[in-house]
């Protein structure tokens, strides 16, 4: 009989004892924490973004009721997909109600929905909003009506990539209906524990892991005039987008997930952290 779990020797735990400050929203944190903990890391949660349901779903409900009027539903995040499907199911509808309406998303974001039977008709090779635009152009798709589920921002500036994406879809020839499906909020005071107890400010953190540009901006805001402590801390980023945002603030980035791995795959950035520590130790 084989047991599901086994004890790991120290050499198989490359992040053993390393404290990693994780700034991703709580609903994503478990994906990253699992990979970190399995490799020996001590994970500290400091979500610098909070994700909450909408207070009012009437606009989304109207869109779902008339799904047949749309040629495409274009998603920009896994949160958007989950919120859309949850509302679809809450209204007693399912995959069949999509009819001929096609779905577009990123590969990593689409996977959980594919596992329950949803089919995505467009998944760009490059997991960025520009990648979706490029794939539409490549396929010669330049018109139609698109429903675009997006977050509603509270206490956080909307990233410029979102209105740019909507504008680019419209330039292609799409008639775009942007609909809010969840709320993205600035963190409450209760989220500041990891800052106030000194884990970051006193140099007790080995890595700060960012998975979005908004996480960086919000952590800098939370830190206030103490934000430059990030310049003395190892920084890990999920993709080049976050690395560029950090570099623009003068923050040195130690780790970026391998370019060949899909954006959104937690294992990619964890493996990159392991590689960095190994090289650091041998130098």
Q: Which of 239, 238, 271, 276 is nearest to 254 (CA)?
A: 276
Three-state SS string over 82-100 comes to: HHHHHHHHHCCCCHHHHCC
Which residue positions in the chain have pLDDT lower than 50? 1-3, 260-263
pLDDT (tens digit per residue) in 42-73: 898 889 999 999 999 999 999 999 999 999 99
Query: pTM for the whole thing?
Result: 0.80
User: What tokens appear for 114 in the block?
Assistant: 């594919």
d(Cα 263, Cα 124) in Å, to the nearest integer? 12
d(Cα 107, Cα 264) in Å, to the nearest integer? 9
pLDDT in the model for residue 9 = 57
d(Cα 125, Cα 108) in Å, to the nearest integer? 11
pLDDT in the model for residue 261 = 46
User: What tokens appear for 165 in the block?
Assistant: 């994406």
User: What tokens appear for 163 in the block?
Assistant: 């209105």
pLDDT in the model for residue 194 = 59
pLDDT in the model for residue 197 = 64
Q: What residue ranges define each of the domains in the chain, with the CATH number in brackets?
A: 17-49+188-282 (3.40.50.10090), 53-182 (3.40.50.10090)
pLDDT (tens digit per residue) in 268-277: 788 888 888 8
Phi and psi torsions of 45, nearest 5°: -90, 125
pLDDT in the model for residue 265 = 64
d(Cα 223, Cα 249) in Å, to the nearest integer? 14
pLDDT in the model for residue 260 = 45
């Amino acid at each position: 009989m084989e047991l599901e779990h086994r004890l790991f020797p120290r050499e198989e735990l490359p992040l053993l004892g390393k404290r990693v400050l994780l700034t991703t929203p709580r609903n994503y944190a478990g994906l990253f924490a699992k990979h970190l903990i399995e490799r020996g890391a001590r994970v500290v949660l400091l979500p610098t973004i909070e994700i909450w349901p909408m207070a009012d779903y009437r606009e989304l409900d109207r869109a779902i009721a008339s799904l047949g009027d749309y040629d495409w539903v274009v998603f920009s995040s896994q949160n958007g997909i989950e919120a859309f499907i949850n509302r679809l199911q809450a209204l007693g509808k399912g995959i069949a109600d999509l009819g001929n309406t096609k779905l577009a998303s990123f590969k990593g974001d689409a996977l959980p929905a594919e596992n329950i039977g949803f089919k995505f008709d467009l998944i760009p090779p490059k997991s960025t909003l520009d990648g979706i635009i490029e794939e539409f152009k490549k396929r010669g798709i330049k018109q139609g009506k698109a429903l675009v589920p997006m977050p509603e921002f509270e206490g956080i500036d909307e990233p410029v990539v979102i209105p740019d994406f909507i504008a680019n879809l419209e330039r292609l020839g799409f008639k775009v209906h942007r609909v809010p499906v969840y709320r993205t909020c600035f963190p409450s005071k209760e989220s500041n524990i990891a800052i106030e107890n000194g884990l970051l400010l006193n140099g007790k953190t080995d890595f700060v892991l960012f998975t979005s540009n908004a996480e960086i901006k919000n952590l800098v805001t939370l830190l206030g005039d103490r934000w430059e402590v990030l310049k003395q801390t190892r920084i890990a980023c999920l993709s080049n987008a976050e690395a560029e945002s950090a570099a623009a603030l003068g923050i040195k980035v130690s780790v970026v997930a391998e370019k060949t791995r899909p954006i959104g795959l937690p294992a990619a950035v964890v493996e990159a952290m392991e590689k960095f520590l190994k090289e650091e130790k041998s130098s």
